[in-house]
Amino acid sequence: MQHAESRLWDLKDKAIVVTGASSGIGAQIAKTMAAAGARVLLVARDAGRLAACAEDITAAGGECEVCQADVTAPDAAEHVVAAALRVFGRIDCLVNNAGVFTMKPFTETGTDELDAQYATNVRAPYALTRAAVPHMGRGSTVVFVGSNLAQLGLAGTAAYSASKGAVESMARALAVELSERGIRVNTVAPGIIRTPMTSYLDDPSALAAETRRTPAGRVGAPQDVAAAVLYLSSQASGFMVGSVLTVDGGISAY
């Protein structure tokens, strides 16, 4: 007999959409959700990597479908929502994970690069959430994947930090507004996570430097973020609304 506490974490038969699900954090989120019993729609641009992620999920006994889409395309939001409704009939959780990251000096970062990061990191999740909400019932959840750089200063990340600060503020406003519909909205704010997006960590000296400055004594792994997203997607976090769950190994504690 399943204990009531364990059922709080159960996502059995929940219909979940995860963007940026072909690699890194997004792929691990999708795998973690599927392992918890969810039916997952994997959304990303790269068809080959989407297929590989889907194969991993099904091989482990999970259930998923794929939706190839560039979230910045004008019709992407409607395309993704239509795909979710076609295969699942509803949306119980939306995980806005897709994002881009560029690190370079402010004086070398043009407004075109700022616009590009806003297009993926802010506009796309805004549009997708707006398209999904009419099809989400009471008890549904929206999780935004932000960044601890929304609160911390780091040279070379002005454009990216601006976009993630916007994500955090947007999520907080939506949390209040959508609570009237019974939809909970929260944000996960990762720190340094070892993924293809942080390939600079392949340099042993860079990895050592990041490890030294992290109180946890290591850089993060995609599983660390996926666990936080699972929590915020489940009823275990039922009293969390408009919260930011920081997953950065203690960097923000300084």
Mean predicted confidence (pLDDT) in 189-212:
91
| 5 pLDDT higher than 80 | no
pLDDT at residue 98 in the model: 96
| 80 pLDDT higher than 80 | yes
Better-predicted residue by pLDDT, 199 or 61: 61
pLDDT at residue 8 in the model: 75
The HSE-up count of residue 89 (CA atoms within 13 Å, CB side) is: 2
- Locate all alpha helices (DSSP H) within the chain, ordered by sequence: 4-7, 24-35, 47-59, 76-88, 111-118, 124-132, 158-178, 204-212, 222-233
Q: Is 85 exposed, middle or buried (0-12, 13-18, 19+ CB in 10 A)?
A: middle
pLDDT at residue 1 in the model: 44
pLDDT confidence bin for 200, thresholds 50/70/90: confident
**Active-site pick, 160, 200, 231, 254:** 160
Which two structure tokens, joined as six digits, stand for 116? Answer: 């590009």
What pTM does this model have?
0.94
Average pLDDT, the chain: 95
Better-predicted residue by pLDDT, 52 or 196: 52
CB neighbours of 45 closer than 8 A, spacing ≥ 6?
Answer: 22, 68, 69, 70
Burial 205-232 (b: 16+ CB within 10 A, else e): eebeebeeebeeeebbebebbbebbbbb
Tens of pLDDT, residues 25-50: 999 999 999 999 999 999 999 999 99
Tens of pLDDT, residues 89-123: 999 999 999 999 988 999 999 999 999 999 999 99
CB neighbours of 59 closer than 8 A, spacing ≥ 6?
Answer: none
Q: Which CATH number fits domain 4-243: 3.30.450.20, 3.40.50.720, 3.30.420.40, 3.30.300.30?
A: 3.40.50.720
pLDDT at residue 3 in the model: 55
Query: Domain coordinates of the chain in residue numbers?
Result: 4-243
Of 230, 121, 231, 241, residue with least CA distance to 177: 241
DSSP 243-254: -EEEESTTGGG-
Mean predicted confidence (pLDDT) in 145-161:
95
Active site (annotated) includes residue 160: yes
Mean predicted confidence (pLDDT) in 240-254:
96
Contact by Cβ (8 Å): 45, 20? no
Estimate the share of the chain in helix, then strand, then coil, as percent rounded to the nearest 5.
50, 15, 35
| 213 pLDDT higher than 60 | yes
DSSP 48-60: HHHHHHHHHHHHT
CB neighbours of 142 closer than 8 A, spacing ≥ 6?
Answer: 93, 94, 95, 96, 129, 132, 133, 136, 171, 174, 178, 183, 184, 185, 186
